[in-house]
Amino acid sequence: MANAKVIEAKQEAVDVVTGKLQNSITTVVADYRGLNVAQVTELRKQLREAGVEFQVLKNTLLRRATAAAELSELDEVLTGPTAIAFSENDAVAPAKILNDFAKKNDALKLKGGVVEGKVVNEAQIKALAELPSREGLLSMLLSVLQAPMRNFALAVKAVADKEEQSA
């Protein structure tokens, strides 16, 4: 009987992780070996503030979850100690936070992940991390949209100033 309960508990854990893999916009897998408790606590704090869930999971559990979520290509990075960050709201946040943290702490190594249902490698995660935040992108868009209007207003003002000088 005890075995049945253990198996059932493990299956529930696999189901939960499978759901997270399917529902998250971005999932980042990292090797945290070598980080001390204070560093992991700081990393968890940064991720939590951004609405990103961070867990340390066994690779066998993750492999079962990736198989259930049809993301088996991710299995090749599931070696050694594995930490995984799930984000359901912000596509860039987990990659950016983990990448910035890895730059300051050599012990943290990005392995790969899943972005919008597609398995990506470490280089693609780092490229995603270099993108500006959503607010930054909206700011850039607003600037681009305002430029023609601003240039038109400056041209009208220049014509008006010229007319004033000749009068």
- Does the pLDDT at position 1 exceed 60? no
DSSP structure class, residue 72: G
The pLDDT > 90 percentage for the chain reads 1
- Does the pLDDT at position 102 exceed 70? yes
DSSP string, 74-131: GGGG--SSEEEEEESS-SSHHHHHHHHHHHH-TT-EEEEEEETTEEEEHHHHHHHHTS
The pLDDT > 70 percentage for the chain reads 96
**Tokens 């991390």, located at residue:** 129
- Does the pLDDT at position 133 exceed 70? no
Mean pLDDT of 142-165: 80
CATH superfamily of 2-131: Ribosomal protein L10, N-terminal RNA-binding domain (3.30.70.1730)
**pTM metric for this prediction:** 0.72
- The pLDDT, as a whole number, for residue 11 is 84
6-12, Cβ contacts within 8 angstroms, sequence gap of 24 or more: 10/61
- Does the pLDDT at position 134 exceed 80? no
- The pLDDT, as a whole number, for residue 152 is 78
**Cβ atoms of 128 and 92 closer than 8 Å:** yes
CA 81 to chain centroid:
19
Of 9, 8, 125, 15, nearest in space to 69 by CA: 15
Residue 152 CA to residue 48 CA, distance in Å, equals 45
Which tens digits make up the pLDDT trace of 26-82?
A: 888 898 888 889 888 998 999 889 888 888 888 888 888 888 888 888 888 888 888
- The pLDDT, as a whole number, for residue 45 is 92
- The pLDDT, as a whole number, for residue 167 is 66
